[in-house]
Structure 1
Amino acid sequence: MSMGQWAKDLGMGVRFAFAGGREGWVRALLTAVGVGLGVALLLLTTAFPSMQSVRHEREEARTDFTYNGEVVKQSDASLLVANVDTEFRDKDIRGRALEPEGPRAPLPPGVEKFPAEGEMVASPALKRLLESDGAKLLRERLPERVVGTIGESGLIGSQELAFFRGGDDLASRIDGGRVTRIDKFGDPEPSEQQTDPVLLLLVLVVFVVLLMPVAVFIAAAVRFGGERRDRRLAALRLVGSDGWMTRRIAAGEALAGAVLGLGFGTVFFLIGRQIAGTVEVFDVSVFPSYLNPSPVLALLVGLAVPAAAVLVTLFAMRGVVIEPLGVVRTAKPSRRRLWWRLLLPIGGLAMLYPMIGQGRDNGTFNEYLVIGGVLLLLIGVTTLLPWVVEAVVARLGSGGVAWQLAVRRLQLSSGTAARMVNGVAVAVAGAIALQMLFAGVESQYTEDSAFDTERAQMQVSMSSDVQLDQAVARFRETKGVQKVYAYGEGYLGDRPVEPELSAEMTVGDCAALREAAKLPSCQDGDIFYVTKPGDDEYTQKLRKQPGLKLYLDPVYDGEVKRKEILWTVPRNMKEAKSREDMSGRERSGFLITPKALPAADAPALTGQAYFKLDGTVPDVYDRVRTTAAAVDPLAYPMTWYSTSTSNRYGTIRTGLFVGAVCVMALIGASLLVSQLEQLRDRKKLLSSLVAFGTRRRTLSLSVLWQTAIPIALGLVLASAVGMTLGAVLLKMTSTPIVVDWTSVLSMTGVAAGIVLAVTLFSLPPLMRLMRPDGLRTE
């Protein structure tokens, strides 16, 4: 067969699709919509690497801290930067205070000029938030006047909350951490992180699981209206075409729908890209310009989708005999064979088996085996489901009229029903496997934070020039604060500059000190030395040398010079036993009550306050943050959590959630299109049944049963395959197998809910199709 004949036959099919009357172009339109939804998600996926890369580049470009330990000297090109990050109702807000030291100081990306003291440049999202009615506490915390907005180049997402405000006297507060001096933005020595084999496995499986349902939906979409199309093709046999020519013409019709679907998909993608710039999913937002598909991957999608449409159509028609006087499809259909359908999941397990027990100790996982094995297992769902549906519905017995109508329809066209729910089953199987894998390895990337969240729920770090007792008084007046434990913290050294030996100093009232050590007795004016197992000998040596002069807050390499402050080791100190404080660490050195500290020594100490809060008070955390900002503009509030999660693991998990939302949206939309196509195909049958007296409620219930039975079987199969795949992936990571039943039930519940919603949305069109004019024919 020459290529010219192929092209001629495919071209004839394309003409039939668009010039074959209302029937042809309606089918082409439905196919295009179904394919377009899948293409849009594929284009979004091809744009994902670009999005991640741009976000990372933007984050790197605005880096404002030095990591190499070198101190930038003051000049007309230097800039003082203070980290003033905050939170508002669990939303992170990136904040920086800026103080240029000369006319050539570097501007941060996205900012046209430095804000003066009392002024602020905010991101568009933060500006909208500050102007909203529910942001009173945040406005009190950020009272500066907004004089401009941060441009796109200075933000990593359209919904990011960020601001730059004018700073004052930041030079005296340089500590090499939260306040520093820079002469340019950007990380001069970006480091490459080592790839964790388990995280790489997670990424690979996430991509396969999210993309596989898309491919299944596209394959199902190009077969819309197959029964009516085959009946029309019988006329071609009557005028002399052979069987293969007829199949190629049918493939041409599918090709037309697929090519049109590429156009629809591009439009859907462009619309979705604009919408993506206005929403935030799991605290992730993007600008539309971030979502630029890779040209190579986009070209691959453009070639693969039409080619798949032709191949799927030819494969689907292998068992259809189109004769001049009709189509032989269901006149004693042969039973589906099971043996070859089992080969796919067995082959997938065989590909994954060599990596069982590898964990992260034996190098990275073989990417090709992982992708191939997971693909074969998920494709196995699509091949096994038609057999399962056929085998089960063939044995279903009598029931009500609606049940009998549904069962008979499924017995006649179980393959069509299975195709409709294939994508759902694949998505659920992959999601269950991923949930099991994430739940299994979560403990490897999540650790206890050591914070005692029963004793305190927040911590605020304050500058050394803050009057700690006055700050504590204001915190205690804050609504929702039950207890405040405040400490002045510093270090003692044997030399004023670069000391070789140092010891801790902690100042606090008796109640606060009892949270940090076991005291024999305590009253204001006491001084204690702390002993603990394995304590350093220096502290024990110092307590035996009363009158020894030590330097408080010594200067280390890279820090600005400060006034020397001497502290004398006192006599008659009391011994205190160490204990874990609220932050989970054991203090050492000296514990001092306020009256025992000379007034001249106070400026050398930084303030730390720990809070026990009443969680029933609305916005109690934001109330504390607002008070902290009033006490010290450079205060650093921190909310405590009992566990902490690896950033990279958290990023992958967030990516899964975002992708799952997109796939679930595609599932719902594609199912609705598929349902409408099937109803349209049965319009005459439905009208005939109504004309013979069948109640509309009965027909509506039969449509529900026709969807519910295959989806129930699909979810059972998906659960079995998903748990099998999840168990294998856990064995590959050397993790004990634990079935996360909550995730299994939640995923099946979500899928069932989507099917129910699609059925409800299809009821209004169903009612219209039951009208008497559905009997009209031409």
Structure 2
Amino acid sequence: MSPRQWVRDLAMGARFAVTGGREGWVRMTLTAVGVGLGVALLLLCTALPNVFAARDKVEDARFDNTFQYSEQAPPKADDTVLIAATDTTWHDDDIRGRLVEPEGGRAPLPPGVDSFPGKGEMVVSPALEALLASDGAELLRERLPYRITGTIGESGLIGSHELAYYAGASGLKPTDFSPVHRLTGYGDPDATAEKTDPVLLLMVLVVFVVLLTPVAVFIAAAVRFGGERRDRRLAALRLVGSDSHMTRRIAAGEALAGALLGLVVGTAFFLLGRQTLGSAEVLGVSVWPSYLDPSPALAALVAVAVPVAAVLVTLLALRGVVVEPLGVVRAAKQRRRRLWWRLLPPPAGLAMLYPLIGKGREHGDFNQYLVIGGVLLLLIGITALLPWVVEAVVVRLGKGPLSWQLAVRRLQLSSGTAARMVNGIAVAVAGAIALQMLFTGVQSQYTEATGQDPGRVQMQVDFSDRKPLSGVERAFTGTKGVKAAVALAISQYGDARRDPKNSNSMTVGDCAALRELATLPSCEDGDVFVTRTRSGYTSVGNAAEIAVVKPGRRLWIDPSYSDVTERGLEVPWTVPADVRVVDARKDSLGDVNSVLVTPAALPAGAAPAVYANGVYLRLDPSVPDAREYVRNVVARTDPLADAYSWSATEEDAQYASLRTGLFVGSAFVLALIGASLLVSQLEQLRERRKLLSALVAFGTRRRTLSLSVLWQTALPVGLGLVLATTVGITLGSVLLKMTRTPVAVDWASVLTMTGVGAAVVGVVTLLSLPPLLRMMRPEGLRTE
């Protein structure tokens, strides 16, 4: 067969699709919408690499910690700027804040900022400006008492909804280990790409395969819309002289026309969604529309793959249909589907994944081709097995109410159509179960205990510079929402005035504060304690400090050191005679020092050398904005202080980002599943419009027909979810074995994923009821 003949037949089929009247246009429109939804999501996925690259580029461009804690910090000059981080949180939203002070006329501007704000002024992101202007943001406006003089441009923000600001300051002083540092430019020229964890790379691959496979399944199903009516048209073509091969090519041409129109519709959907996403936030993630530019190579692949797939799927579907001049053999009793070849994909997928079992993260990256191929074959195996399972089950069903019998008979006549509708949801559920098992299984590897007890302390404040202990206590006394505040201070001591041989830090606090660190038999202001072990440890002894801090020994507070330019106060201190050795608490607040001193035990001259180390706060849960009141006090006391909430665990940032990306992607795939199922359901109802109208005309109750439609959906969905659960658990178990993680099935999550899939189908069925009721009118029997 010459290529010219192929082109002529495909063009003829496309012409039939376009010039087929109202019926042809409705059919092609449904196909285009179904394909278009899939194409839009595929284009979105092709844009993801650019999204990640663009966000990383902005992060790198505005990086402002280049010389912090480094000897490379430049001297003050006309082209330097002082900058300090003042990040904060508003409820659950992080706000990126910076104080900036240019030191000359050529000081570098932060990306996205046109001019430096003056003292008492700030430039903000559009989202933060809107938030500050909203009702209920009084506490945030109090915390950021700057006048807004401009907005940060797109080049300085990682997303349209990022909350960020740059505020003008004066008198900033960069010191060692200070949050204030001097820059000559932004960005990190020495930054190198971190080696990504092999398990995380595996999870990325699986996420992409799991999210994209349902899209491909839906596209394949969409190009087969209107299959029964198309077959009757093909019979007419056989009657006028076309052979079977030409007929199939003409049918493929019709599918090709719908797929090409679907590319156009999908591009329109994508452009509309691109603009919408640029002004929206999904699960705390936002982007700029310019980030969503598809990769040219991947976009071209989609543009070629979708039409080619439409042609191949149509030709493959017609291999089992004999189109004769007087009808379609499909109307007769169908031959049972063969099972043997449908059983091949899952074992083949497992065979590809088998060499990777036990690899873990110690043996390099997982082979991406084996991972993609293995996962894909397992998921595609569902689409091969489900039609056989549906056919094998419905052929044995029969007795029951009239609605049940109507549904079963319809499924017995066209089980393949019902299975195609459910294939996508089954694949999505299987992939979701596998991913849930994988993420749950490895979660402990990316989550570490912080040692913090949120039931005991809810917030901690670390100050940026030396502040007197008494001033810190007064700042938090009476703050709304604060039930108790434990303030601790630190100082240095040594056994010599200068360059002591033995030196360490001491913790200063009142008796209530020190009891949070050690078990004290009794305590009065003026007491001194030394712990037997280092605070928070039971196996690390503290004999060295016990030997230094002996009763009556003379020590020096804040001694001087030759290698430090700033001289200490060198205050002499005689250790009290009643110094006691006590046990440190295993749950002491943070990593504190082993020498515990009450304020009255120190000489008066040592007060300037004692500075607040941190404040631990217990909050009143009945005050909703307790944390916001605390952050406002911190902003007034020390704008550069770090106020954060306690958490029992801390997650790896890359793992958390990947999980967030999975949730966002799943939301889009679920939306696609729902929309595509609705289009498919409407197409099925449209094909049966006359049959439904005839049944109503003969007296069949609308309720009976509605229930029959519900059964026609529920039966394949139930079978599909059972198959999806089996495959999902199998795939999840294999992935866990690949990562050397104990296999455990979280049945609550499995049932949740299955329930979500069933809920989507239920919503689609309910949405299809109004069109169904309209189609059941006797007027539907009219024809021309």
Residue identity opposite 2:691 in structure 1: L
Please state how far the C-alpha of 1:470 moved relative to its aligned partner.
3.4
Q: Which residue number in structure 1 is paired with residue 646 of structure 2? A: 640
Q: What are the equivalent positions in structure 2 for 1:343-492 lying under 5 Å apart? A: 343-492=344-493
Q: Which residue number in structure 2 is paired with residue 570 of structure 1? A: 574
Change (3 A) 1:50 1:134: same
Alignment partner of 1:547 is 2:548: no
Change (3 A) 1:693 1:602: farther
Q: Which residue number in structure 2 is paired with residue 677 of structure 1? A: 683
* Number of aligned residue pairs: 774
Residues 55, 156 of structure 1: 8 Å contact kept: yes
Please state how far the C-alpha of 1:499 moved relative to its aligned partner.
8.4
Q: Which residue number in structure 1 is paired with residue 80 of structure 2? A: 78
Please state how far the C-alpha of 1:462 moved relative to its aligned partner.
2.0
Q: Which residue number in structure 1 is paired with residue 340 of structure 2? A: 339
Q: Which residue number in structure 1 is paired with residue 30 of structure 2? A: 30
Give the root-mean-square deviation of aligned CA atoms: 2.1
Residue identity opposite 1:459 in structure 2: Q
Q: Distance in 1 between matches of 2:352 and 2:498?
A: 62
Q: TM-score, normalised by structure 2?
A: 0.95
Residue identity opposite 1:400 in structure 2: P
Q: Distance in 1 between matches of 2:260 and 2:120?
A: 58
Alignment partner of 1:730 is 2:732: no
> Which of the residues 153, 163, 188 maps onto 1:151?
153
Q: Distance in 2 between matches of 1:76 and 1:108?
A: 16
Residues 503, 588 of structure 1: 8 Å contact kept: no
Change (3 A) 1:179 1:583: farther
Q: Distance in 1 between matches of 2:497 and 2:186?
A: 33
Residues 461, 641 of structure 2: 8 Å contact kept: yes
Change (3 A) 1:553 1:24: farther
Please state how far the C-alpha of 1:582 moved relative to its aligned partner.
4.4
Change (3 A) 1:170 1:496: farther
Q: Which residue number in structure 2 is paired with residue 752 of structure 1? A: 758
Q: Which residue number in structure 1 is paired with residue 141 of structure 2? A: 139
Q: Which residue number in structure 2 is paired with residue 91 of structure 1? A: 93
Where structure 2 has 5 or more consecutive residues not aligned to the other structure, the ranges are 534-538
Q: Which residue number in structure 1 is paired with residue 281 of structure 2? A: 280
- Comparing 685-694 with 248-257, greater Cα deviation is found at 685-694
Please state how far the C-alpha of 1:25 moved relative to its aligned partner.
1.4
Where structure 1 has 5 or more consecutive residues not aligned to the other structure, the ranges are none
SS of structure 2 residue aligned to 1:565: coil
Q: Distance in 1 between matches of 2:500 and 2:714?
A: 75
Q: Distance in 2 between matches of 1:219 and 1:582?
A: 61
> Which of the residues 93, 98, 112 maps onto 1:110?
112
Q: Distance in 2 between matches of 1:690 and 1:221?
A: 29
Change (3 A) 1:449 1:324: same
Q: Which residue number in structure 2 is paired with residue 709 of structure 1? A: 715
SS of structure 1 residue aligned to 2:344: helix
- Comparing 294-303 with 497-506, greater Cα deviation is found at 497-506
Q: Distance in 2 between matches of 1:342 and 1:238?
A: 39
Q: Which residue number in structure 2 is paired with residue 617 of structure 1? A: 623
Q: Distance in 2 between matches of 1:182 and 1:554?
A: 29
Q: Deviations over 1:99-152 (max 9, x none)?
A: 111112111111111112211111111111111111121111111111111111
Residues 502, 548 of structure 2: 8 Å contact kept: no
- Comparing 127-136 with 187-196, greater Cα deviation is found at 187-196
Please state how far the C-alpha of 1:619 moved relative to its aligned partner.
1.7
Q: Distance in 1 between matches of 2:90 and 2:128?
A: 11
Residues 505, 595 of structure 2: 8 Å contact kept: yes
Alignment partner of 1:321 is 2:327: no
Q: Which residue number in structure 1 is paired with residue 702 of structure 2? A: 696
Q: What are the equivalent positions in structure 2 for 1:264-303 lying under 5 Å apart? A: 264-303=265-304
Residue identity opposite 1:148 in structure 2: G
Q: Deviations over 1:63-83 (max 9, x none)?
A: 111257222222222211111
Q: Which residue number in structure 2 is paired with residue 47 of structure 1? A: 47
Residue identity opposite 2:206 in structure 1: V
Q: Which residue number in structure 2 is paired with residue 193 of structure 1? A: 194
SS of structure 1 residue aligned to 2:270: helix
Change (3 A) 1:54 1:496: farther
Please state how far the C-alpha of 1:534 moved relative to its aligned partner.
3.5
Residues 17, 24 of structure 1: 8 Å contact kept: yes
Change (3 A) 1:556 1:649: farther
Change (3 A) 1:581 1:739: closer
SS of structure 2 residue aligned to 1:577: strand
Q: Deviations over 1:280-304 (max 9, x none)?
A: 1222110110011110000000000
Please state how far the C-alpha of 1:177 moved relative to its aligned partner.
4.5
SS of structure 2 residue aligned to 1:319: coil
- Comparing 178-187 with 217-226, greater Cα deviation is found at 178-187
Q: Deviations over 1:180-221 (max 9, x none)?
A: 222211112112212211111111110100000000000000
Alignment partner of 1:743 is 2:745: no
Please state how far the C-alpha of 1:586 moved relative to its aligned partner.
5.0
Please state how far the C-alpha of 1:536 moved relative to its aligned partner.
5.9
Q: What are the equivalent positions in structure 2 for 1:509-588 lying under 5 Å apart? A: 509-532=510-533, 534-535=540-541, 539-544=545-550, 546-551=553-558, 562=566, 564-572=568-576, 574-575=579-580, 576-580=582-586, 582-588=588-594
Q: Distance in 1 between matches of 2:401 and 2:559?
A: 88
Change (3 A) 1:552 1:675: farther
Q: Distance in 2 between matches of 1:362 and 1:494?
A: 51
Please state how far the C-alpha of 1:634 moved relative to its aligned partner.
1.9
Q: Which residue number in structure 2 is paired with residue 64 of structure 1? A: 64
Please state how far the C-alpha of 1:59 moved relative to its aligned partner.
0.5
Residues 507, 592 of structure 1: 8 Å contact kept: yes
Residue identity opposite 1:29 in structure 2: T
Change (3 A) 1:725 1:339: same
Q: Deviations over 1:739-769 (max 9, x none)?
A: 0112111111111111111111111111221
Q: Which residue number in structure 1 is paired with residue 305 of structure 2? A: 304
Q: What fraction of aligned residue pairs are identical, expressed as a percent?
A: 62
Residues 565, 601 of structure 1: 8 Å contact kept: no
Q: TM-score, normalised by structure 1?
A: 0.96
Please state how far the C-alpha of 1:461 moved relative to its aligned partner.
1.3
SS of structure 1 residue aligned to 2:119: coil
Please state how far the C-alpha of 1:243 moved relative to its aligned partner.
0.4
Q: Distance in 1 between matches of 2:531 and 2:547?
A: 12
Please state how far the C-alpha of 1:480 moved relative to its aligned partner.
2.1
Residues 452, 648 of structure 2: 8 Å contact kept: yes
Q: Distance in 2 between matches of 1:154 and 1:459?
A: 30
SS of structure 2 residue aligned to 1:608: strand
Q: Which residue number in structure 2 is paired with residue 238 of structure 1? A: 239
Residues 468, 611 of structure 2: 8 Å contact kept: no
Please state how far the C-alpha of 1:495 moved relative to its aligned partner.
9.1
Q: Distance in 2 between matches of 1:311 and 1:283?
A: 41
- Comparing 665-674 with 468-477, greater Cα deviation is found at 468-477
SS of structure 1 residue aligned to 2:388: helix
Residues 458, 619 of structure 2: 8 Å contact kept: yes
Residue identity opposite 2:227 in structure 1: G
SS of structure 2 residue aligned to 1:354: helix
Change (3 A) 1:493 1:112: farther
SS of structure 2 residue aligned to 1:711: helix
Q: Deviations over 1:524-559 (max 9, x none)?
A: 2333334316446653454248334353697988xx
Q: Which residue number in structure 2 is paired with residue 211 of structure 1? A: 212
Please state how far the C-alpha of 1:20 moved relative to its aligned partner.
1.3
Alignment partner of 1:168 is 2:170: yes
Change (3 A) 1:308 1:105: same
Change (3 A) 1:734 1:465: closer
Residues 508, 594 of structure 1: 8 Å contact kept: no
Q: Which residue number in structure 2 is paired with residue 7 of structure 1? A: 7
Please state how far the C-alpha of 1:336 moved relative to its aligned partner.
1.0
Q: Distance in 1 between matches of 2:471 and 2:777?
A: 79
Residue identity opposite 1:45 in structure 2: C
